[in-house]
Amino acid sequence: QVQLVESGGGLVQPGGSLRLSCAASGSIFSVNTMGWYRQAPGKRRELVAVSTSDGSTNYADSVKGRSTISRDNAKNTVYLQMNSLKPEDTAVYYCNAWIRGTAISIRQEYWGQGTQVTVSS
């Protein structure tokens, strides 16, 4: 089976920075698109950033210019560097990936368990 595990969340003051990590593990043939979503209390889950296997990226307007998504394909890991954090960035951040496992020939969508990011003084 395939699993996504996030790490790097925590408490940070406004204006601070965090780097989130998400590693895919298990019976993996290939990892394609990887991205980050977030969900704040009382709000819908929203896309934060996404990275394709060839390096193309896209960002939500709310984080554009403050965040950078990157990946280490050799480690099947995606990162989200977040700078100039604001209280409204507070949310549970979820890793998302489309992965082809060794058991089947099609790509399937996977989600991590989430990591809490709290921006507060």
**3-state SS string for 26-79:** ECEEEEEEEEEEEECCCCCCEEEEEECCCCCEEECCCCCCCEEEEEEHHHCEEE
Reference 69, options 93, 44, 87, 101; nearest CA is 93
Q: Identity (one letter) of the amino acid at 105? A: S
pLDDT the model gives residue 104: 86
pLDDT the model gives residue 37: 98
What pLDDT digit, counting tens, does each position of 70-98 carry? 999 999 999 999 999 999 999 999 999 99
Answer whether 80's CB lies under 8 Å from 67's CB: yes
What pLDDT digit, counting tens, does each position of 9-54 carry? 999 999 999 999 999 999 999 999 999 999 999 999 999 999 998 8
